[in-house]
A and B are shown apart, each in its own frame.
Chain A
């Protein structure tokens, strides 16, 4: 059933676990707001000194289980990833979310994030899943601008 695809156990767990929760001072946080539900999320991506690698993701916010689990799972999967790799990783995630159920995230590539595949059948929830990703992309841009 589609509802069970949406709320897989991994998502329910990460809604509680919230990996990466807690912002440290400094860096270039991005604040994102979803006006349809009032959910908010602030997220900072930290890069290695040469700007090539994601060394940490920190975030705080409130929202539904999908938005919280997506932030938590993303933090787990992308920490240690190169920035170049992250960009295509995020694009692939976005494409799957917007696919209305036609693209599934592969477990090989996306690990536990593949559990979010079911969200794409619920158009109203895609924004929830994307909130942390939009914040990460934005924080990355701000961070890299500062390095130039």
Chain B
């Protein structure tokens, strides 16, 4: 496990124009990659060049520009799919991970109202398993399914240190379990969950398994097949890509079975006045004019990630993340959320500063040029579970450096004194 050399870091950082901004008179220390990563210039340049020279309708029309746009769109899908270890026709483009989860949940609500197809149709008394650590995006869509169908949400407990074990999930899985929805890494705790073991449990119980891979995709390589799940979701904007695009990955078999949710042009074969036939996935889930420029931008961002080296980035972030964790842990009266020992973590750490509200912490850090995330990070129930209302989070990206970590830890160490806590 090693970090980038200063020369390597400098070369990487030169690709990210936002890093040369100043905040409150200090050079920006960007520690909010887990929310949204910064964008490399090369990918944005190619994306905007594409928009200027190749914008045209995808999958419609025979003129050369339209054909080129269609080809570029398909190529983008193929290269994004390759990056995550998927086949192109298993990758459905959506607006973001939130929409991806909602697509599955909506398909279930539609199926439940007519009682078919069987794997998507839930009935009263069926059970949906989530963990205590889920992002609202992987909780609220399931609450809606439960409310409509009379299904029950069962919550797998985490330990006080933030660890989710397969045993904990097992304790809430039953023969009524129809959905198991867990994150690969919580955006608050940063601990890698034993997703494979959890997915195996879920599938053995006959449930559909949905993995929220937003944070593992943000901080390293993901291999969608390796989870053993039915569905995996992630967002481009946490992978150095643009906002406005994300993906729903599904096994070929499950995408085939999944009912359509949104309908219209581009997803059909035959259309009559009273009925239509649909294309296979992914087209059947992508009605209307697609996100062409965003797909190009995402593919280019991942090309840049590959050029730096995914494994090198993971190693860098993991090593730096350990420094960050140790630095924060050393500050008195600062409590790390998810401080379990002996777990694998990605480069992020959330914490509560005793006596100082996270908004005040964040504002103080900002005055020293440090961009941190404050609030409940879209995980209110998790914060409640850990006995706090909200927290502050530092998260790393490929461009983060040991200097960033040192500055952040030093600023954090001054927070309590500034607010008059002794």
Which residue numbers of A lie inside 8 Å of B, CB to CB? 1-3, 6-7, 12-13, 15-16, 36-39, 62-66, 122, 125, 128
Contact = CB atoms under 8 A, between A and B. Distances in A.
A16 B383 CA distance: 24
B360 A64 contact: yes
A38 B376 contact: yes
Contact of B390 (A2, A38, A65, A122): A38
B375 A37 contact: yes
B357 interface: yes
Interface of B: 24-25, 356-360, 363-364, 366-367, 374-376, 380, 383, 389-390, 418-420
A64 B25 CA distance: 24
Contact of B360 (A2, A36, A65): A65
B363 A37 contact: no
Contacts of B363: 3, 6-7, 122, 125
18 contacts: A1-B25, A1-B367, A3-B24, A3-B363, A6-B363, A7-B360, A7-B363, A7-B418, A13-B420, A37-B374, A38-B380, A38-B383, A38-B389, A63-B357, A64-B360, A122-B363, A125-B359, A128-B359
A32 to B, nearest CB: 15
Contact of A37 (B358, B367, B420): B358
A36 B380 CA distance: 11
A58 to B, nearest CB: 21
B361 to A, nearest CB: 9
Nearest to B366: A3
Given A38-B380, A64-B360, A125-B363, A12 B375 contact: no
A38 B383 CA distance: 11
A38 B359 contact: no
Contacts of B375: 36-38
B376 A65 contact: no
Contacts of A63: 357
Leading 7 A-B pairs by shortest Cβ distance: A3-B367, A64-B357, A64-B359, A38-B389, A65-B360, A64-B360, A37-B375
A66 B419 CA distance: 12
Nearest to B390: A38
Identify the interface centre among A13, A15, A38: most chain B CB within 10 Å of its CB: A38
A36 B357 CA distance: 13
A26 to B, nearest CB: 28
B365 to A, nearest CB: 11
Given A3-B363, A3-B367, A38-B376, A62 B389 contact: yes
A6 B360 CA distance: 10
Identify the interface centre among B358, B363, B375, B420: most chain A CB within 10 Å of its CB: B363
Contacts of B383: 38
Contacts of A3: 24, 363-364, 366-367
B32 to A, nearest CB: 14
Contacts of B24: 1-3
Contacts of A62: 357, 389
